[in-house]
Amino acid sequence: MKDTQQALKKKQKKAVRRDYMLLGAALIIVAVILAIFPDKSTAVTTTAWTYLTEMMMILPAIMVIMGLFAVWVSKEMVVKYLGKTSGFRGIVLAVFLGALPTGPLYVAFPLAAGLIKKGARISNIIIFLSAWACIKIPQEMVELQFFGIKFMALRLVLTIVFVTIMGVFIERIIEWSDK
């Protein structure tokens, strides 16, 4: 038990160290690019500030949603509907859950992490994230209005088919790499 806790702490420290290294590398790259293109610094800082303030307004709500998700949604429910044995029903649910909400994609990542921790299948998580990024009910209505039913239906069907193929393919690669 104690060895498991120590291994977990070591793994967490390694992950935090990696995250700080990635952040540092990104900041160095930004500094170098801004040194090469100083005329873009105003646009970069304005855009960065806009995204930062947007995230600061959204993150508290995400934390509340994650807390409610952790309490209200049981592990057994996630395993039953999105786990290894969920099959086609899990794919349909993942597409529906991803297409239903509107909002930026970074809102979906904590939800996806929570689903993985509760036993959701990797392919269903990839399908959920891809549906969140590519399929939105309001977006479909706009497509219908401007492009017609044929375009909307074809894009929707092809998106669902290829997102599903991608999710299953990535899951297989992850399983293969773990072996």
Closest to 130 (Cα-Cα) out of 166, 157, 102, 92: 166
Whether pLDDT at 77 is above 80 = yes
pLDDT in tens, 2-50: 777 888 788 889 989 999 999 999 999 999 999 999 999 899 889 989 9
* pLDDT at 1 (0 to 100): 64
Q: How far apart are CA 127 and CA 160, in angstroms?
A: 8
Taken as a whole, the chain contains a residue count of 179
* CB-CB contact of 109 with 161 (8 Å): no
Give domain status of residue 90, yes or no. yes
* CB-CB contact of 113 with 70 (8 Å): no
pLDDT-derived band at 91, boundaries 50, 70, 90: very high
Using the structure block, give the residue that is written with the tokens 């600061």. Answer: 56
* pLDDT at 12 (0 to 100): 87
Q: How far apart are CA 115 and CA 132, in angstroms?
A: 15
pLDDT in tens, 103-135: 888 889 989 999 999 999 999 999 999 999 999
Whether pLDDT at 169 is above 90 = yes
Phi-psi region of 148 (alpha: psi -120 to 50; beta: other; left: phi over 0): left
Give domain status of residue 42, yes or no. no
Give domain status of residue 29, yes or no. no
What three-state secondary structure class fits 120? coil
Region 45-69: mean pLDDT is: 89
Give domain status of residue 103, yes or no. yes
Q: How many domains does the chain contain in total?
A: 1
* pLDDT at 70 (0 to 100): 85
Give domain status of residue 12, yes or no. no
Spell out a b/e string for 83-104, using b for 16 or more CB atoms within 10 Å of the CB, else e: beebeeebbbbbbebbbeeeee
pLDDT in tens, 131-154: 999 998 888 999 999 999 999 999
Give domain status of residue 172, yes or no. yes
Region 82-90: mean pLDDT is: 94
* CB-CB contact of 19 with 11 (8 Å): no
158: domain range?
A: 73-179
Give domain status of residue 64, yes or no. no
* pLDDT at 3 (0 to 100): 76
Give domain status of residue 144, yes or no. yes
